[in-house]
Amino acid sequence: MVMSWSPTHCVTAEEGRDDEQCARTDGLRYGFVLHGLWPQYEKGYPEACPIGKKPFVPNEVINGMKDIMPSRGLVIHEYKLHGTCSGLDPVQYYDLSRRLFRSVRIPERFNNPFETQYLSPRDVEEEFMRANTWLRPD
Catalytic positions are 35, 78, 82
Q: What pLDDT score was predicted for residue 113?
A: 77
pTM of this structure: 0.86
The residue among 51, 109, 111, 62 whose CA lies nearest residue 85 is 51
Tell me what the pLDDT averaged over the chain comes to.
Answer: 90
Q: What percent of the chain has pLDDT over 70?
A: 100
Distance, in Å, from the CA atom of 70 to the CA atom of 30, rounded to the nearest integer, reads 7
Summarize pLDDT for 51-64 with one digit per residue, the tens: 888 778 999 999 99
Residue 27 has pLDDT above 80, yes or no: no
Contacts of 112 (CB under 8 A, 6+ apart): 28, 29, 31
What are the residues whose beta carbons fall under 8 Å from the beta carbon of 99, sequence distance 6 or more?
none
What's the pLDDT band for 129 if we cut at 50, 70, 90?
very high
